[in-house]
Amino acid sequence: MSQFPDAKQLFTTVTEDGKSILSIEPYAVPEPKEHEVVVQMEAVPINPSDLGLLTAAANMDTVRSETVDGHPALVADVEPAMQPFFKGRAGKKLAAGNEGAGKVVAAGSSDAAQALMGKTVTIVGGEMYRTHRVMPAMMCVPLPEGAPAKEGASLFVNPMTAQGFINTMRAESHEGLVHTAAASNLGQMLAKLCLKEGVPLVAIVRSDAQKKILTDIGLTHVIDSTKDDFMEQLIAALAETGATLGFDAIGGGKMASYILTAMEKAAAVRGAEFSVYGSTVNKQVYIYGRLDTGETILGGGLGLYWGVGGWLLTPHLEKVGMERMMEMRMYTVAERNGIFHSDYSSEISLMDMINPDIAKGYDKKATGEKVLVNPSL
């Protein structure tokens, strides 16, 4: 019998008959192997990347509470037009949750595992929406003595992504960055990191309130894409900063095209060489999110020396290697209350995750409304 008989976890399922289900079910915690520990999860954020598994298939207007196979569940319909996109996971019960933090409550016999007993650690590896997570000791990064789990909840996805953007900029010989949806939790971290590292950053937002978030941090170049003079302001900011690398969280629509066009016009302002093919300035936009799931549309006026591609954190970390990755993680822990601090609008339990009203709230992905799950509640 497990030493944690009340353990439970959240599963996400898309059924073959067009239902999206989040269920809370019992979880048999395995005994830790020699090199493993059991972490009692106390803080797990809901990131946009988590919502890809949790609610992306669901029509949230149809969400309701039901009992599925004897377990409490949140159920929503999947629209017929959406069902082909989720065919690959139809009928598969998946665990979710990218990162989190908690207290080590059991450990294997190795010295490394035993050294973590009783410590609060930050971890990553998926399947975090559960009361207990078994992890290799080497994948656990202890927080300083006395630090609450909440401080370690969001110390991987967004902080490592922000550092990854700057790694990429330097590796590809760019001088500055452009970032969209820039008032997000990640965007605020990137702003603080760029200010500390002396990296020019042009931030694109969608409201005066979002602009104020970033100017209060200290950013100079914050552009509101809803304003009539958006392109003029963007060109001016790019001409001043020399930023030629963009990271776009929006994905669909024309934003990548607007950025590349503005970079080309800014190159002219900066006196770049031109030919019939456009400027000789290398311009790049990486799409790393899909807030707009529509097609990415590119117009004219870009020149011919540009690129648009995708960017993912995991392949980037594989590219930089284990040594650099661990440097990034330790820097993240050191700056957990500074550059990489996260604020949360609410703290909920696992059971709250399947409450229809609460689920509609965290599914909005609203700026400034990051939700923290405490599976121990």
Q: What is the number of alpha carbons within 13 Å of residue 215 lying toward its C-beta?
A: 12
**Beta-bridge mates of residue 36:** 136
Count of Cβ atoms closer than 10 Å to residue 330 Cβ: 11
In DSSP terms, 11 is beta-bridged to 23, 95
Q: Do 200 and 143 fall within a single domain?
A: no
Instruction: Give the per-residue pLDDT at 1.
Output: 55
Is 177 contained in some domain? yes
Summarised one tens digit per residue, pLDDT across range 70-124 is 999 999 999 999 999 899 999 999 999 999 999 999 999 999 999 999 999 999 9
From first to last of its 377 residues, what are the pLDDT tens digits of the chain? 578 999 999 999 999 999 999 999 999 999 999 999 999 999 999 998 899 899 999 999 999 999 999 999 999 999 999 999 899 999 999 999 999 999 999 999 999 999 999 999 999 999 999 999 999 999 999 999 999 999 999 999 999 999 999 999 999 999 999 999 999 999 999 999 999 999 999 999 999 999 999 999 999 999 999 999 999 999 999 999 999 999 999 999 999 999 999 999 999 999 888 888 899 999 999 999 988 889 999 998 899 999 999 999 999 999 999 999 999 999 999 999 999 999 999 999 999 999 999 999 999 877 777 899 999 99
Q: Are strands 292-296 and 251-253 parallel, antiparallel or unpaired?
A: parallel
Tell me: the pLDDT tens digits for 287-312?
A: 999 888 899 999 988 999 999 999 99
Closest C-alpha among 116, 124, 101 to residue 41? 101
Which token pair is 220? 């100079």
DSSP single-letter state for residue 301: -
In a domain, 326, yes or no: no
pLDDT of residue 293: 83
Please answer whether residues 181 and 222 qualify as being in contact, where contact means their C-beta atoms are separated by less than 8 angstroms.
Answer: no
Position of tokens 């006196």? 271
Q: Are residues 174 and 150 in the same domain?
A: no
Do 148 and 165 reside in the same domain of the chain? no
Domain assignment present for residue 335? The answer is no
> What would the DSSP string read from start to end of 69-122?
TTEEEEEEE--TTTGGGGGGGBT-EEE---EEEEEEEEE-SSHHHHTTTT-EEE
Sequence-separated (6 or more) residues with CB below 8 Å from residue 160 = 313, 317, 325, 328, 329, 332
The answer to whether position 334 is within a domain reads no
Examine the domain organization and report whether 269 and 297 are in the same domain: yes
Q: Say if 332 falls within a structural domain.
A: no
Angle at 291 between CA 257 and CA 338, to 5 degrees: 100
Same domain for 172 and 307: yes
Token pair in block for residue 348: 């909920």
Q: What does the alpha-carbon distance between residue 9 and residue 17 come to, in Å, rounded to a whole number?
A: 24
pTM: 0.89
The domain spanning residue 138 has which CATH number? 3.90.180.10
How close are the terminal C-alpha atoms of the chain, in Å? 23
Q: Structurally, how many domains does the chain consist of?
A: 2
Nearest in space to 44 (alpha carbons), one of 9, 72, 71: 9
Tell me how far apart the alpha carbons of residues 135 and 116 are, in angstroms, rounded to a whole number: 11
| Model pLDDT, residue 282 | 95
